[in-house]
Amino acid sequence: MPDDSPLYIPVILGTVRQGRMSERAARAVHRQLARWPNVETELIDIAAMPLRTDGAGQDIKDPAFAAQMTRADGLVIVAPEYNRAAPGLLKHVLDTCLKEYIHKAAGIVGVSAGPWGGTRVIENLLPVLRELGLVCIFWDVNFAQVRRAIDEQTGELTDPRQAERIDKFIAELVWMSRTLRHGREQVALEPRPA
């Protein structure tokens, strides 16, 4: 029987900086994803995680985060662009898991204060996510000039077209998450030809 239970697709807020504008972007995407039928989500704020620095990789795995990644069918990663790259602590957190990610979908939300909308951090993250075993979708969300993109008081998007772009992104991520769940459950690796 195919597993038709709700998909679990958390949103990872990938920065710990004070005053981070990415939080508004993450909350906007999370709010929109939460309205999606047959999807369960939550916001995972890496600033609220115990970030150990006395080791690296899977040696410092946080059990709660690992359990969330095991349960996940897909991920939304919200990443600001800091000097053309992803925040170091986001990479530090992502590196603590591996088996939990394999054959699961990932979509990236890039955030920048300038006009490029985090395009370069998205390019920067793609090979990292692939190495972790995640399957990246081809839609991204770009928050350019993020201070203007989201109303400071209400948290609402200032451009309604951005909501449409986010829905396109979510639709692709949901499809990929559902398809990969089916594959993980039902489609076995082909044996090596004799």
Size of the site for another protein (CB under 8 A): 16
Minimum CB separation of residue 141 from another protein in Å reads: 27
100 is a site residue for another protein (CB under 8 A): yes
Tokens at residue 188, please? 């076995």
What Rg value do the Cα atoms of the chain yield, rounded? Answer: 17
d(CA 98, CA 15): 20
- For the four alpha carbons of 194, 188, 102 and 139, in that order, the dihedral sign comes to positive
Tokens at residue 70, please? 């095991």
Nearest CB to another protein, comparing residues 160 and 188:
188
Query: At which residue do the structure tokens 């998205």 appear?
Result: 122
**Where does this chain touch another protein (CB under 8 A) — which range of 10-18, 81-89, 157-165, 186-194?**
186-194
Nearest CB to another protein, comparing residues 108 and 180:
180
**Where does this chain touch another protein (CB under 8 A) — which range of 18-26, 96-104, 145-153, 168-176?**
96-104
Q: Are 116 and 81 in contact (CB under 8 A)?
A: yes
* Residues contributing to the site for another protein (CB under 8 A): 3, 5, 70, 98-100, 102-103, 133, 183-189
